[in-house]
Amino acid sequence: MEVIHSKFSKSVTQRFVKDPTRGGTRYLGGGCTARVFQYGQNKVVRVQEWRQDYDPADHLRWAEFCLKSRSKHVPKIFFLGVERDVNDKVTKVVTVLERLGYAGAQFEDSAWAMESYLMGWDEWSCISERLHPKMKEVFPYGAAKRLRAKLKGSGLEFNDLHDENWMIRKSDGRLVITDPIC
Ligand SMILES: Nc1ncnc2c1ncn2[C@@H]1O[C@H](COP(=O)(O)OP(=O)(O)O)[C@@H](O)[C@H]1O
Ligand SMILES: [Mg+2]
């Protein structure tokens, strides 16, 4: 595994390289592409492997974007590792990120509207009415506008911003985009 980023000591980093889920204490969930385990109190380990209909390279690009981003609406990443096959194709992406809480189904429609805004398909004036009033508190206009500007030209295409791919950071109450691409 190639370690792209690690905030951990050498020995802990090596543990993630050998067996990413070993330190995981509890299975938290998995959608169609990833498995997520609790790691300590405040972190999770996310392991994404190659599947016929899904290329983990997309998630790698998203994780790299998050590492560079200063937005409060993307996850803090403590470890990023990647495995490739002999043809250099990404086969596995491992991230350790901050543990977040469930945002709830109340944001379902807001999430799709926000996706259109962030991708530049719709202007704020068009989506504003579709946003749950709470959404504007947990993801304010200014933050959305800044993130949209950074996403522009990044090549990232969000296509999966349903409510389970948004979560809440308890410490600041912000909405965090966890898994926007499938
Ligand atoms: N940072 C996190 N903190 C807590 N739970 C998480 C976190 N990230 C993901 N999860 C849980 O794991 C599930 C799957 O993770 P996700 O990144 O959405 O992958 P998938 O591609 O499999 O949908 C989420 O729906 C959520 O229940
Ligand atoms: Mg998901």
Q: What is the arithmetic mean of pLDDT over 101-125?
A: 93
Q: Are 135 and 110 in contact (CB under 8 A)?
A: yes
CA–centroid distance, 165 to ligand 2, in Å, is 5
Q: Judging by beta carbons within 10 Å of its beta carbon (0-12, 13-18, 19+), is residue 32 exposed, middle or buried? A: exposed
Choose one of 99, 158, 178 to mutate for the ligand 1 pocket test, by most ligand atoms within 8 angstroms of C-beta: 178
Domain final position from 99, 123, 143: 99
Domain count within the chain = 2
Looking at the structure, tell me whether residues 94 and 108 fall in a common domain: no
Torsion angle of the four alpha carbons 79, 80, 81, 84, in this order, in degrees rounded to the nearest 10: 170
Measured from the alpha carbon of residue 176, the closest ligand is 1
Residue 172 banded pLDDT, cuts 50, 70, 90: very high
Q: Per the domain annotation, does 182 fall within a domain?
A: no
Residue nearest to atom 12 of ligand 1 (CA): 29
| Domain ranges, residue 150 | 102-177
- For residue range 42-81, what is the model confidence (pLDDT) as tens digits? 999 999 998 877 889 999 999 999 999 999 999 999 999 9
Looking at the structure, tell me whether residues 82 and 106 fall in a common domain: no
What's the predicted TM-score (pTM) here?
Answer: 0.95
CATH number of residue 86's parent domain:
3.30.200.20
Looking at the structure, tell me whether residues 72 and 118 fall in a common domain: no
pLDDT at position 93 is 96
CA–centroid distance, 30 to ligand 1, in Å, is 6
Looking at the structure, tell me whether residues 92 and 109 fall in a common domain: no
Domain final position from 68, 99, 130: 99
Token pair for 103 = 């945002």
Looking at the structure, tell me whether residues 48 and 106 fall in a common domain: no
Looking at the structure, tell me whether residues 122 and 79 fall in a common domain: no
Q: Per the domain annotation, does 68 fall within a domain?
A: yes
Domain final position from 99, 127, 156: 99
Measured from the alpha carbon of residue 38, the closest ligand is 1
Looking at the structure, tell me whether residues 11 and 43 fall in a common domain: yes
Looking at the structure, tell me whether residues 24 and 112 fall in a common domain: no
